[in-house]
């Protein structure tokens, strides 16, 4: 029996539509972004056009107003949307909104779907996810924010959150807190929906980072906020999925977020490589085009190789998702590899552009400082490598070989 690597025609067709959409609409629109008002105008125009063309919520089921794409087709779409920072926003497929939408579809009550999910589906509101804390970092089970039930009607939350991405642009927040310190470690936490602004959920500051910042950075969800949670009263009806389900739901949404980051990284790397190819085809030094120099060709070859591996990696994970197979090992491998891949490709593109790449005349410099965070968000490299390595050793101890934990069970 042969292994079929052919992408179904319907998935190819939607990929081509989205590729053309990003090329014709999103990338040209980037030049129109100047301030908050221009951003609102540009995004509203893009979203109206996208919805009219049926390009809306690619990851969501049709009954919720989405395109109803499966994991494979959605992966192909996301690997196009990342070409522009307006790509995902134009189709209401941006993080962390997308993962929250999936969480509410799977675990939300009828009340929560009507009040909170519907405006997210319509693109009327944004949401942030408040899990990470200074005290716990990558270990979510070490969080100290508490949620104590006050009778039967409310929970009262107290604590702090750190690096709550998009909080300064959000109308809603998903907050994870400890509800039962005596329960098994992964059943101590619950997730609550908070309507913003709320005096009990105070944004102390947007944390300065190495990423390039401009007037639209935080509006577009690029900010990372430090939050003080003090006597925050949450109605019991805003508890998502029931008590003790917060950790499991959080891991599920983070798994999707890691893949979405990786898919967008592939798109960004591809655009960077295209920009490099265009530049070296025209740039001449010492009487010779850069594209004709062997060292430059080697640099381009290495980038192309990493992109090839990245696409195969993501498509294999999408295949496993389509089949309902366990993909946790592959997800951790991909999270680390794709973060390093995009960093390498963008760095190479900057090098090939010379001083122009170091300038802000191209988007490469801004991308470079932004993508460094990919090795930290959704868990740092070291945590995922630890997980992968631990699984390799478990496989060896069980069967005397590491094959099943190192790609030996591809199908």
Residue 402 has pLDDT above 90, yes or no: no
| pLDDT confidence of residue 404 | 73
| pLDDT confidence of residue 164 | 92
> Could you count the other beta carbons within 10 Å of the beta carbon of residue 375?
18
| pLDDT confidence of residue 362 | 94
State residue 108 phi and psi, 5-degree precision: -75, 150
Element (H, E) at 98: helix 97-107
| pLDDT confidence of residue 252 | 78
Answer for the pair 160, 228: CB distance below 8 angstroms, yes or no.
yes
Nearest to 10 by CA among 90, 73, 80: 73
d(CA 184, CA 171): 33
The bridge status of strand 146-150 relative to strand 154-165 is antiparallel
Local structure of 177: helix, strand or coil: strand
Mean pLDDT value across the chain: 91
Local structure of 202: helix, strand or coil: strand
Q: Which residue has the tokens 């909104």?
A: 97
Q: Which residue has the tokens 């079929």?
A: 4
| pLDDT confidence of residue 151 | 81
| DSSP structural state of residue 198 | B
d(CA 183, CA 186): 8
Angle 246-98-30 (CA atoms, 0-180°, nearest 5)? 145
Nearest to 25 by CA among 61, 51, 59, 60: 51
Residue 277 has pLDDT above 70, yes or no: yes
- Tell me the two tokens of residue 296: 């430059």
Q: Give residue-wise pLDDT tens across range 353-385.
A: 999 999 999 999 989 988 888 888 777 888 889
Angle of helix 294-322 versus helix 71-81 axis, rounded to 10: 150
Q: Give residue-wise pLDDT tens across range 139-168.
A: 778 889 999 999 879 999 999 999 998 898
Q: Give residue-wise pLDDT tens across range 204-262.
A: 998 888 877 777 877 776 688 999 999 999 999 999 999 999 988 888 787 788 788 89
- Tell me the two tokens of residue 33: 């972004």
| pLDDT confidence of residue 370 | 86
Q: Who contacts 243 (Cβ-Cβ below 8 Å, separation ≥6)?
A: 179, 180, 190
| pLDDT confidence of residue 376 | 82
Instruction: Report the percent of the chain where pLDDT is more than 90.
Output: 69
> Which letter, b or e, does each residue of 160-195 get, where b requires 16 or more Cβ atoms within 10 Å of its Cβ?
bbbbbbbbbbbebbbbbbbbeeeeeeebbbbbbbbe
- Tell me the two tokens of residue 237: 């009806």
The arithmetic mean of pLDDT across residues 111-136, rounded, is 94
For residues 224 and 80, which has the higher predicted lDDT (pLDDT)? 80
- Tell me the two tokens of residue 145: 């924010």
d(CA 18, CA 349): 24
Residue 409 binned pLDDT confidence (cut-offs 50, 70, 90): low
Would you say how long the chain is, in residues?
411
Residue 399 binned pLDDT confidence (cut-offs 50, 70, 90): confident
Q: Give residue-wise pLDDT tens across range 320-332.
A: 888 888 888 998 9
- Tell me the two tokens of residue 249: 């739901």
Q: Beta-strand (E) ranges in 169-286?
A: 172-178, 189-195, 201-206, 224-235, 239-240, 284-285
Answer for the pair 228, 170: CB distance below 8 angstroms, yes or no.
no
| DSSP structural state of residue 24 | I
| pLDDT confidence of residue 411 | 52
State residue 161 phi and psi, 5-degree precision: -130, 155
Nearest to 127 by CA among 109, 154, 156, 104: 104
Q: How far apart are the first and last CA of the chain?
A: 13
Local structure of 393: helix, strand or coil: helix
For residues 134 and 51, which has the higher predicted lDDT (pLDDT)? 51
Report the Cα 32 to chain-centroid distance in Å: 24
> Does pTM top 0.85 for this prediction?
yes
| pLDDT confidence of residue 324 | 86
d(CA 230, CA 156): 9
d(CA 107, CA 100): 10
């Amino acid at each position: 029996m042969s292994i079929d690597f052919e992408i179904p025609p319907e998935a190819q067709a939607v990929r081509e539509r989205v590729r053309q959409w990003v090329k014709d609409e999103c990338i040209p629109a980037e030049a129109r972004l100047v301030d908050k008002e221009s951003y609102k105008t540009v995004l509203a125009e893009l979203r109206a056009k996208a919805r009219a063309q049926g390009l809306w919520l690619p990851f969501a089921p049709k009954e919720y107003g989405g395109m109803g794409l499966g994991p494979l087709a959605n992966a192909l779409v996301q690997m196009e949307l990342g070409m522009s920072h307006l790509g995902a926003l134009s189709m209401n497929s941006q993080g962390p909104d997308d993962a929250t939408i999936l969480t509410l579809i799977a675990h939300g009550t009828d009340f929560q779907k009507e009040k909170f999910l519907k405006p997210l589906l319509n693109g009327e509101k944004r949401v942030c996810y408040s899990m990470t804390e200074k005290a716990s970092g990558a270990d979510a089970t070490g969080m100290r924010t508490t949620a104590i039930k006050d009778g039967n009607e409310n929970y009262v939350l107290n604590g702090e959150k750190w690096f709550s991405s998009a909080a300064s642009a959000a109308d809603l927040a998903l907050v994870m807190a400890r509800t039962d310190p005596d329960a098994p470690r992964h059943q101590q936490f619950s997730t609550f929906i908070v309507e913003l602004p709320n005096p009990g959920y105070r944004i102390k500051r947007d944390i300065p980072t190495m990423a390039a910042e401009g007037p639209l950075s935080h509006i577009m969800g690029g900010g990372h906020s430090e939050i003080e949670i003090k006597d925050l009263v949450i109605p019991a009806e805003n508890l998502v999925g029931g008590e003790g389900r917060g950790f499991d739901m959080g891991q599920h949404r983070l798994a999707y977020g890691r893949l979405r980051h990786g898919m967008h990284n592939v798109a960004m790397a591809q655009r960077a490589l295209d920009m490099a190819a265009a530049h070296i085809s025209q740039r001449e030094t010492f009487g010779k085009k850069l594209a004709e120099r062997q060292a430059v060709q080697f640099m381009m070859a290495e980038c192309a190789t990493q992109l090839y591996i990245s696409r195969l990696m993501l498509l294999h994970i999408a295949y496993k998702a389509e089949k309902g197979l366990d993909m946790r090992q592959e997800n951790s491998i991909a999270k680390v590899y794709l973060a390093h891949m995009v960093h390498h490709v963008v760095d190479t593109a900057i090098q090939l552009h010379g001083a122009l790449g170091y300038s802000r005349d191209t988007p490469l410099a801004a991308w470079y400082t932004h993508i460094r965070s990919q090795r930290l968000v959704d868990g740092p490299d070291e945590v995922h490598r630890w997980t992968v390595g631990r699984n390799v050793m478990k496989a060896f101890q069980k069967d005397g070989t590491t094959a099943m934990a190192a790609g030996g069970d591809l199908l």
